Amino acid sequence: MFEQPVRYVAQPPPGQLDDATLLATARERAAHLAEASKQLAGSLNPDRTLRRALHVTVPALADWAQLMMPTRTGVRYTAVRTDEPDRFVSVDGTRPVLGEISGHGRILATGRAELMHVLADGVVPESVAATVPAGELRDGVLGLRPADLLVLPLTARGTTFGTLTLARRAGRGFEPEDVTFAQELTGRIAVALDTARVYAEQAQVAEVLAASLRAPQLPETPGIAIGTRMRAALHAAEIGGDFFDVFGEPGDWSVLLGDVAGKGAEAAILTGQARHTARGAAFYDRRPAELLRVLNASLFSGASRVEPTTRFLTAICARVRTAPDGSLSVVLASAGHPHPLVVRRSGTVEEVPVKGLLCGALPIAQYVEVGVELAPGDMMVLFTDGVPDAIGPGGRFGLGRLSQLAAGYAGSGPHALAEAIDIAVAEYSGVGVGPTDDVAVLAFGGVRQ
């Protein structure tokens, strides 16, 4: 391997050092730096950026190149050589000891480049053994002997986090000008790799946090069937200010549905606080009015730490007790939320007039409970204001349309009812047009045991 001669971008032809040649070489280097910067800026994916970093060095700058990057458990070495530019070889290793006598540990500690020579005497130099892992990666370097090996630190934001190792075959070593050029290119590589690495870490943290803010997976609820639908106004975020939760134990369930003032991540943070507060309060008192009272106090006390436009929420809380025949006994309390609807099996739709002050407005609020009995086959549907307030050709979707739709799905089951409401609101607002407000629907009914 490595039999074809290569003229590197960073190296002028030997014996031709006139001003015109030096100027042409400088222009070539500048052009390569510009193109390399463009390639490196084209992705924030760490693996893709790493491959591009190696491609801008081989064969333009070296016959062989290796990147050492930190991982969660150690480091990873990835190398490529000029005769197989699309074949990347990776090896995992332990994290170098900072300040060690030779190798990456010293480079990481000092932040300085080191140039070494590899002789063709059949002996593996200590410098190579400390820099290149045994196996295919080291064989790639030894195949160039005699060769020059240049190890450069990857430094960004004041921290040296990895290394770039370049190897050139015999007679094509690194002149001082080549080292300077390599350092400049390595600086750009370091910034690109660090940016991609930081972006990936932040994206992972954001995804974990977003997952905790999305609608929870419903538990198994013997004796009660539950159907839910939720759509965020900001589709890209997949999270919003509407929320629901179901918790409790067989025979005695708590259902919570609410709507935070605002949209997006800021509102979603408050929904997480609301869900956790309600669950915590339920350990001491399962009454809906008490859960809303605690939730109101918690939101008001934390108002100074939350944006003013997202410190309020409306909510409806229900305590649902099941019976073997499929009937349900429901106790409701409301914090300024749209009235729930009862859909009787006969097709009659009733509005439950439960009222109360929205949560977070005052330090102390009292809530009144209302009881409703659901016979086998009856359903109750809870929804946020994104349903009746949806705008379409005829103005607001309104409670009239919602009641008429619900009556048509009497006896169909909570899953079908929730889905039908969500689809109807989406179609009314316009096909392909996102909702202007978050939408959440939760319907439930009894199941014979």
Q: What is the 3-state secondary structure (H, E, C) of 223-290?
A: CEEEEEEEECCCCCCCCCCEEEEEEEECCEEEEEEEEECCCHHHHHHHHHHHHHHHHHHHCCCCCHHH
Write down how long the chain is.
449
Residue 6 pLDDT grade (very low, low, confident, very high; cuts 50, 70, 90): very low
pLDDT in tens, 47-84: 999 999 999 999 888 999 999 999 889 999 999 998 88
Q: Do residue 86 and residue 146 come from a single domain?
A: yes
pLDDT in tens, 101-155: 668 888 888 899 988 887 766 677 777 788 888 888 888 888 887 888 899 999 9
Q: Which of 148, 175, 208 marks a domain boundary?
A: 208
Q: Do residue 173 and residue 224 come from a single domain?
A: no
pLDDT in tens, 125-136: 777 788 888 888
Phi/psi zone of residue 220: left (φ > 0), alpha (ψ -120 to 50 degrees), beta? Answer: beta
Residue 436 pLDDT grade (very low, low, confident, very high; cuts 50, 70, 90): low
**In the numeric block, which tokens belong to residue 373?**
């009995």
At residue 52, the pLDDT reads 95
Q: Which residues of 74-112 are buried (b: 16+ CB within 10 A; e: fewer)?
A: ebbbbbbbbbeeeebbebeeeebeeeeebbbbbbbeeee
At residue 3, the pLDDT reads 41
Which domain does 332 fall in, by range?
216-302+309-446
- Evaluate if residue 433 carries a pLDDT over 80: no
DSSP state of 308: G
Q: Do residue 194 and residue 265 come from a single domain?
A: no
High-pLDDT (> 70) share of the chain, %: 86
Q: Do residue 247 and residue 359 come from a single domain?
A: yes
At residue 171, the pLDDT reads 67
Q: Quick check: is 2 in a domain?
A: no
* CA–CA dist 228, 218 (Å, integer): 9
Quick one: CA dihedral 231, 236, 238, 240, positive or negative?
A: negative
Residue 5 pLDDT grade (very low, low, confident, very high; cuts 50, 70, 90): very low
* CA–CA dist 64, 57 (Å, integer): 8
Q: Quick check: is 377 in a domain?
A: yes
Q: Quick check: is 3 in a domain?
A: no
Q: Which residues of 188-216 are buried (b: 16+ CB within 10 A; e: fewer)?
A: bbbbbbbbbbeeeeeeeeeeeeeeebbbe
At residue 236, the pLDDT reads 46
CATH code at position 148: 3.30.450.40
At residue 367, the pLDDT reads 96
At residue 204, the pLDDT reads 81
pLDDT in tens, 253-311: 999 999 988 766 677 778 888 888 999 999 999 999 999 999 999 988 865 544 544 57
Q: Which of 168-172, 235-239, 243-247 has the lowest mean pLDDT?
A: 235-239
Q: Do residue 359 and residue 262 come from a single domain?
A: yes
Q: Do residue 358 and residue 433 come from a single domain?
A: yes
Q: Which of 187, 208, 229 marks a domain boundary?
A: 208
Provide the 3-class DSSP secondary structure of residue 294: helix
* List of residues 6+ apart from 409 with CB closer than 8 A: 343, 416, 417, 420
How many distinct structural domains can be found in the chain? 2
**Type of residue numbered 22:** L
- Evaluate if residue 37 carries a pLDDT over 80: yes
| Strands 64-70, 75-81: pairing kind | antiparallel
**Mean pLDDT, the chain, as a whole number?**
86
Is the pLDDT higher at 310 or at 245? 245
Q: Do residue 414 and residue 279 come from a single domain?
A: yes
Q: Which of 22-26, 159-163, 251-255 has the lowest mean pLDDT?
A: 22-26
- Evaluate if residue 92 carries a pLDDT over 50: yes
Q: Which of 191, 208, 225 marks a domain boundary?
A: 208
* CA–CA dist 103, 130 (Å, integer): 5
